[in-house]
Structure 1
């Protein structure tokens, strides 16, 4: 029997869009194709009734809904003997830490695409959880400078950021550095810090050229590097040219290549 999924969202267009993306994600992918949406709920109370009446394998769960929130629903599901895997789908990135404390398989911030959804489904069906560094798989400190083997670098794209219910497109040149967080990434801009649903690996694929992976947890815009400061452990710390003079750690493995790229 294919894995059974429940979609929980108080907005009908959001439920329809998720169904559409699941269909898109299933093309040419056996794991995503096996998912069967057999229920929809418009609020947390309705979701719990459906979850009590049928064993679901996967729940796509919005967070901010009338009545019970998605986090409250997830909390109650923890008491079930065989709880379903949970993928949060929300327009608000600020509950990611709480979501992963509830052992969510993934946390998708709208808008997301079919490819991102496919990976979330694969992870959920495999029984996995997003790594603390927010990347899709375990990795070392080796740099991946925005290209695949033998491929032409992709053009610079703007990064969508959710702010006050709006999607704001941030230019790559406005990003001082990106940092891996739990289930998402943060972008440090000159004046502020914002959260995005992209992993650091995904951002690295989108942002190339003058961006360099100085650490498994940091992707830096080299145009904003102000100073290189050795720390007490013999490694480097970058002082960035933003308002806060942010400091970014450089791994030992990347220090030599970084100096070359900066012409030092």
Structure 2
């Protein structure tokens, strides 16, 4: 496929083992007009060959394909001299945590519409570099009360509108093995920030959810305490308070990994007071 020398738009590669899915993505991207589609691949091996042949700015990447998976392609792409931004396009919502760990710009669950794709492309092309002091990543789908998939309807980065009146969350919906599982808030050991989203850490599992840490702080009830701008802990699961290597304080949690959660100096005294320590 030839590339026009006078076209300065970002270059996009579509990777999907199903030809109709590639054709639909190409059509939507051409209608959008923000990128030029200069490559298509039907499997991971083809994608890697194309990525090594010319630099791409954006890859629309399926996950489950014969042979090399989309996750493996994304991992290999990170070692390129100029890694492209990755937007996963998949029918399977249960790989979002792995996608997040690979610093994907977005995670779209099929079927998605043109508006959702447009937001994903904008996010990918405007997102800053990988590590800005907090975890970077992509959204994970969740079912809302009407049974829709929030990943298909939710805007991009940022905290929810502060004017919203949030309902308390007794249970938090997470995706597991293609199912929506409702996690009791008492099972949450701690939550950590992830660029407008959050990780929930349970005793021996971790899930990515679309709630921001600020929203979780507002909506979770019980003994939750914001130890740091990046962490919200369930005080019922604090096992120890220990000084960290910087001379500050850390919480040792009672999950299987005995995770250490950072405590800011500003919050240390209040945390001790709340724990009676």
What TM-score, normalized to structure 1? 0.59
Q: Give yes or no for the alignment of 1:66 onto 2:71.
A: no
CA change 1:111–1:213 in 2 (3 A) is farther
Aligned counterpart in structure 2 of residue 92 of structure 1, from 68, 81, 95: 95
Partner of 1:7: 14
Q: CA deviation at 1:51?
A: 6.4
Greater Cα shift, 49-58 or 241-250: 49-58
CA contact (8 A) 1:215 1:254 kept: yes
Q: Give yes or no for the alignment of 1:238 onto 2:245.
A: no
How far apart, in 1, do the equivalents of 2:15 and 2:258 lie? 42
CA contact (8 A) 2:196 2:213 kept: no
Q: Deviations over 1:185-242 (max 9, x none)?
A: 543223x1223265xx7244245344332124422123x2445635276643334455
Partner of 1:140: none
How far apart, in 2, do the equivalents of 1:79 and 1:236 lie? 38
Q: Give yes or no for the alignment of 1:173 onto 2:174.
A: no
Partner of 1:125: 125
Q: Give yes or no for the alignment of 1:205 onto 2:215.
A: yes
Partner of 1:143: none
How many residue pairs match? The answer is 238
What TM-score, normalized to structure 2? 0.57
Q: CA deviation at 1:158?
A: 2.1
Q: CA deviation at 1:108?
A: 3.2
Q: Give yes or no for the alignment of 1:193 onto 2:205.
A: yes
How far apart, in 1, do the equivalents of 2:239 and 2:53 lie? 60
1:158 is paired with a residue whose SS is strand
Superposed counterparts of 1:140-179, under 5 Å:
149-156=162-169, 158-163=172-177, 165-179=178-192
CA contact (8 A) 1:44 1:70 kept: yes
Q: Deviations over 1:48-95 (max 9, x none)?
A: 677689975421223442123335545369658x66433345642564
Gaps of 5+ in 2: 1-6, 138-158
CA change 1:170–1:52 in 2 (3 A) is same
How far apart, in 2, do the equivalents of 1:35 and 1:13 lie? 20
- Root mean square deviation of aligned Cα: 5.0
Partner of 1:108: 107
